Structure 1
Amino acid sequence: MFSVGRDYTRDEIYSKVGGSKQSYLPTKNGSVVAACLTHGLNPQAPRVILCGRGSRIEPAGELLAQQPDAIPVFLKRDVNRWEYQGNFKATASYTAGLEFDGYVSGSGRPHSEVSRVVVMSDV
């Protein structure tokens, strides 16, 4: 479907997986279908996703943490240029505690802006 290291536009990603063209965790039919991340907000991506806060973001983070299926993960390289990193699945999720603090510390993001940490592994 996607080739590792190749760049895609959000329109191309949407045409293959669906979901939202704006959300960084687009969902379709109750599942997260991709992750479109920036290093500024997710410095350890694609291995660690720091979910923000908000009425759409928090449920998407929870869905990702619970779903068994792998998703394609992309990192933003430039305006509408998203590099495919591979397929990853959630292996751990934290909303508080030492693990949560460890992943958020040093990320440049205040703890109050992060609702969940999702640890991903490639498949």
Structure 2
Amino acid sequence: MSTSFEHIRGKLSFMARQGTVKAQEDQGDNIAAILKAIQDYSTSEREPGCLTYRICRSGDDFFTFEEYANAAAVQEHFEIEGFKNLLKGVGTGTLTVGEPKITYYEEI
């Protein structure tokens, strides 16, 4: 289990466990919309390095499971507008309570 991905050379997966972070009151639907926009972009031809992007929700808890071709594809993902919008909302403290926990895994 790792909190960084730079050392991974091949296909990698990661879990962004927003489930460990609660949405601010009345923000669950906003988080869902942001994640859905990221999913729509990431699973299109515009982000070929993203192999899987799944969103799960239980109330105000969110979980994403993502797979990328390599570390460069993850870095590319971090540069898309939808991801930056998510970070902006998290950074202001108005979208979530705390920050998402991300764990990276290398496929074996």
TM range (shorter): under 0.3
TM-score (norm 1): 0.25
Which of the pair is proportionally richer in helix?
2
TM-score (norm 2): 0.27
